[in-house]
A and B are shown apart, each in its own frame.
Chain A
Amino acid sequence: MLRVDISKQLGEFSIEAAFASEGRVTGLFGASGAGKTSLINMIAGLLQPDRGSIAIDTEMLDDTNARVHVPAHRRRIGYVFQDARLFPHLDVRQNLDYGRRMNRLAEDPAQQARVTDLLDIGRLLDRRPGQLSGGERQRVALGRALLAQPRLLLLDEPLGSLDEERKEEILPYLVRLRDEANIPMVYVSHDADEMRQLATQVVMLKRGRVTAFGGAEVLPD
């Protein structure tokens, strides 16, 4: 259960959003500039709300009244960025292993094999990010986030920088992830089709405000 009730002023632009979602995939839907990325940056702990609270289940991650702000690295929230952000000095294997090392988790070859199989990245392990295609990079970024064993996974337009063909290539992996990985996700997109294929609940965002909340039926045609 993810509960968000925050406000944040960003220059001229303000975000005031409240919603609670129990869906496996919560879709954050809205045009570019609606505040989607700022909102999930706050969930990730990269941006601090001016007022309000963010909680997962019973744990407060942000609560301005109680002066609680859990830093990003202690939230155990995975984040897949639109631009992948793989570490250029590490190969794919080391990128995938990064979260495990930082969190001092025990090695788990079975889990690693599951994730590399799920995302079909086994043959990329020895390559550097510079030698990957956009779609491959995005799949590695997904694997890297999953292997840090997050309790929530944020995906910020992970298909945004890909062409139509590549999108069709990645989308099935995301559906598989939803159905097999057992991690709740927040999926950000401005693409209604993507939302329909992935989201189990939708939060509609317009100019920093939540305008609708519900199932896929709230999406525009």
Chain B
Amino acid sequence: MFELSPTEWTAIQLSLRVAVVATLIATPLGIAIAWLLARRDFWGKSVVDAVIHLPLVLPPVVTGYLLLLTFGRRGLVGAWLADHLGIVFAFRWTGAALACGIMSFPLLVRPIRLSIEAIDRRLEQAAGTLGAAPWQVFATVTLPLALPGVLAGMVLGFAKAIGEFGATITFVSNIPGETQTISSAIYSLIQTPDGDTAALRLVLVSILIAMGALVASEWFARRATKRLHGN
């Protein structure tokens, strides 16, 4: 009953790889965007904000289809990337990572933005009077103080990425060994006559992963808060 088949193992490994890669690539970008939204006023700011949040409110199948149109083999960006850089997203695990990254991006950005907004800007001013250039202020004051938010965003983003289904299956389909994540494997299994037990096993695994992520985020957050207040 609890023995995982090779296909199931592959799906789990793939899900982890997709979610980890998506989170690690999205994090620096998310920090940059969060900082811009929290600290800068610029023309079109509300548009940027809306575009980032779009995947949260659009039907995932729409996001997936838009990705297919843009990043597919014959898509505008996809064709260029394939011809010039040899990067292919369509029906590859990299495409799954892209879809998961985009779908989880709003969840990643939000806690980071909130934690940057909560930082006392007078501390940043003080750093400036001590000779810190703006990038140094960011690296030595803003980012360390926003760390709990960054970790919370990463965990939320990771959890979303590992569970993403609609956009991923639309964009890169459901190919075992290449794009079949835990979610799409469960979907396939419950369509199969004898798939129930296997589906249940994967359900348990995804619960375990989600719980693990939550516990880890709590632990990180507590450590970070302790570090910040030093008591």
Give residues in A with beta carbon < 8 Å to B. 44-46, 71-79, 81, 83, 85, 87-89, 91, 98-99, 102-103, 127-131, 144-145, 148
Contact = CB atoms under 8 A, between A and B. Distances in A.
Given A87-B141, A98-B127, A99-B130, 17 more contacts: A44-B129, A45-B129, A46-B128, A71-B128, A73-B130, A73-B133, A74-B131, A78-B129, A78-B130, A88-B229, A89-B145, A98-B130, A102-B136, A103-B131, A128-B229, A144-B130, A148-B131
B126 A73 contact: no
A102 B228 CA distance: 20
Q: Which of A79, A83, A88 has the most CB of B within 10 A?
A: A88
B231 A99 contact: no
A101 B53 CA distance: 39
Contacts of B132: 73, 98, 102
B230 A102 contact: no
Contact of A73 (B131, B140, B141, B145): B131
Contact of B231 (A75, A79, A130, A144): A130
Nearest to A72: B128
Given A87-B141, A102-B136, A148 B230 contact: no
A89 B144 contact: yes
Contacts of B227: 89
B230 to A, nearest CB: 3
Main secondary structure of the interface of B (DSSP, over half): helix
Contacts of A74: 131
Contacts of A75: 129
Contacts of A148: 130-131
B122 A102 contact: no
Interface in B132-150: 132-134, 136-137, 140-141, 144-145
A99 B230 contact: no
B25 interface: no
Contacts, number: 80
A99 to B, nearest CB: 4
A129 to B, nearest CB: 7
B190 interface: no
A129 B130 contact: no
Nearest to B224: A89
Nearest to A128: B230
Contacts of B136: 73, 102
Interface string B187-231: 000000000000000000000000000000000000000011111
B134 to A, nearest CB: 8
B70 interface: no
Nearest to A149: B131
B138 to A, nearest CB: 12
Contact of B229 (A45, A81, A130): A130
A81 B122 CA distance: 10
A45 B128 CA distance: 9
A44 B131 CA distance: 11
Given A88-B228, A128-B229, A131-B231, A145 B144 contact: no
Nearest to B147: A89
A46 B111 CA distance: 29
Contacts of A73: 128-134, 136-137
Q: Which of B128, B134, B137 has the most CB of A within 10 A?
A: B128
B146 to A, nearest CB: 10
Contacts of A99: 130-131
A79 B129 contact: yes
A116 B140 CA distance: 23
B7 interface: no
B80 to A, nearest CB: 40
A46 B230 contact: no
B230 A131 contact: yes
24 contacts: A46-B128, A46-B129, A72-B128, A73-B130, A73-B137, A74-B131, A77-B129, A79-B129, A81-B122, A83-B122, A85-B122, A85-B123, A88-B145, A88-B229, A98-B132, A98-B140, A102-B127, A102-B131, A102-B140, A127-B230, A130-B231, A144-B130, A145-B129, A145-B130
